[in-house]
Amino acid sequence: MPVGRRYGVSTMDGTRRAATVDFEHVTKHYDAGAITTGAPGAVTDLTLSVPAGAICVLVGPSGCGKTTSLKMVNRLIEPTSGRILLDGTDVAARDAVELRRGIGYVIQQVGLFPHQRIWENVATVPRLLGASLGRQRERADELLSLVGLDPAVHGSRFPAELSGGERQRVGVARALAADPPIMLMDEPFGAVDPIVRDRLQNELLRIQERLAKTILFVTHDIDEAIKMGDLVAVVDVGGRLAQFGPPAEILAGPASDFVARFVGADRGLKRLSLARVRDLTPLPVPMARLGEPARRAAADPLVRDQRFALLVDHEDRPIGWIADRELDRDGGITADMATPMSPLLDPETTLKDALSMLIDAEVLAGIVVDRDGRATGLITTEAIATWLRPSGVSTATSIEAAS
């Protein structure tokens, strides 16, 4: 499960290796006669700023110019007007070839050189920059390990011998080889199956944790955009910026009908995948300990209020639920008095997964447990629904009301 990200921070002093990107009124149009299906889309007056170390996702329907915008950063396409600044310098002012050696580029079909071994492919830009053979090999091995490939196994192979997912990992390694301050990624995970895609996305997020590069990421998949982006730019057909902001903002408040439609009618559910159990305030758990005298537990004000108690062991680990009337007897509490349990929720679980678990178990509340399995609170479906509502008004806080 991807850990929450904060951009611009890195354990490897990454901020100095990340550039800022500014689009200033960038426009690209093509002659009417040159328009053919599948041709790159036009871009109209695109202006946005990407801070260093952030992943900015450009998302929109096919032909909306997101790929064109990306390719204008490394000048594979030149803008008709407007300019793009990298760390404040206009990219047009620099020599194109030299510029590209400082920008990592990853595309859907990867584009590895079939006639070179994997390590040679990865070392392409270092070689161009004059690194010695030894240093090239070293760097290649380093990066292959970073992307999760064993250099001893894959280093000397040819691209044709690798699977699609492995090839794309090599593509990412190659893009990172010269430690560029910015990476451009054009639907990099579009050509692999969903399982591999999920894994690759998580890997990239993990790598980003370490390296904190500025990444411009293009996709047509809004779910990918929400998952990957620190900032999301929703682009309309014709290359118009429809909305720009963190994913939560876009989901909570689409700026236009287009954005609302593009995000999808289920944006509420999508928002749930952005928050985690730890983002909610859990309700206190009415607890009863194993072996404790039943009446004492029944006397607990919380138990009396909620009419249920969670039976826990001496380490506060949940065993099951007991109704308060069951506690009205002599003697200690035993395990067989408890009925089956609600799902246990890790604080890192997304609200979407949590809700899913609760629905599957056909209960209205789940138990939050910490790393040692200790019960720390309750989360109800009601609480989750409340979180969704922008005004945050809650109407019920008791288990009873929820049951």
Partner 1 sequence: MIRWDWIFDNLDQIAASVAEHLILTILAVWIGLAISLVAGLLIYDRRRLYGPTAGFFGILYTIPSLALFAFLVPITGLSLTSALIGLVSYTLLILLRNIMAGLDAVTPETREAAEAMGLSRAQRLVRVELPLALPVIVAGIRVATVTTIGLVMVTALIGQGGLGQLMLRGFNRSFPTMIYVGFVLTVALAIGLDLLLAWIGRVATPWARKGPG
Residue 74 Cβ vs partner 1, minimum distance, rounded to whole Å: 6
Report the nearest approach of partner 1 to the CB of residue 137 (Å): 18
Nearer to partner 1, 99 or 248 (CB): 99
**106 vs 322 by CB, closer to partner 1:** 106
Q: Minimum distance from CB of 165 to partner 1 (Å)? A: 12
CB of 135 to partner 1, least distance (A): 18
> Which of residues 111 and 347 has its CB atom nearest to partner 1 in the complex?
111
DSSP string, 83-149: EEEETTEEGGGS-HHHHHTTEEEEETT----TTS-HHHHHTHHHHHTT--HHHHHHHHHHHHHHTT-
User: How many residues does the structure list for the chain?
Assistant: 403
Which C-beta is closer to partner 1: that of 36 or that of 391?
Answer: 36
> 338: closest CA among 322, 324, 326, 352?
322
Taking every pair of Cα atoms in the chain, the longest distance, rounded to a whole number of angstroms, is: 90
At 171 the three-state DSSP class reads helix
Nearer to partner 1, 75 or 276 (CB): 75
Residue 366 CA to residue 265 CA, distance in Å, equals: 27
| Residue nearer to partner 1 on the CB measure, 2 or 111 | 111
What one-character-per-residue DSSP string does 62-98 give? TTSSHHHHHHHHTTSS--SEEEEEETTEEGGGS-HHH
Q: Which tokens in the block code for residue 386?
A: 């409340």
- Pair of tokens at residue 299: 């006397």
Q: Which is nearer to partner 1, 107 or 379 (CB)?
A: 107
As measured in angstroms, the least distance from the Cβ of 69 to partner 1 is 15
Please report the DSSP string for 338-351 in residue order. PBPPPPEE-TTSBH
Instruction: Please report, as ranges, the residues that interact with partner 1 according to CB under 8 A.
Output: 74, 76, 97-103, 105, 107-116, 124-125, 128, 157-163, 174, 184
Question: At closest approach, how far in Å is the CB of 284 from partner 1?
Answer: 56
Nearer Cβ to partner 1, position 193 or 370?
A: 193
Tell me how far, at minimum, the Cβ of 211 lies from partner 1, in Å.
19
Cβ-in-10-Å burial (0-12, 13-18, 19+) of 95 comes to exposed
Closest to partner 1 by CB, 107 vs 337, is: 107
Pairing mode of beta strands 287-289, 308-312: parallel
d(CA 21, CA 99): 14
CB of 116 to partner 1, least distance (A): 8
DSSP string, 239-283: TEEEEEE-HHHHHHS-SSHHHHHHH-TTHHHHHHTTSBGGGS-PB
Task: Determine phi and psi for 246, rounding to 5 degrees.
Answer: -65, 155
Rounded CA-CA distance 180/214 in Å is 9
Residue 126 vs 247, nearer CB to partner 1: 126
Minimum CB–partner distance for residue 105 and partner 1 (Å): 4
Task: Let me know: does 155 contact 138? Beta carbons within 8 Å.
Answer: no
Rg (CA), the chain: 27
Handedness of CA 372, 373, 376, 379 (dihedral sign): positive
Give the tokens for residue 210. Answer: 């370490």
We find the least distance from the C-beta atom of residue 114 to partner 1, in angstroms, to be: 5
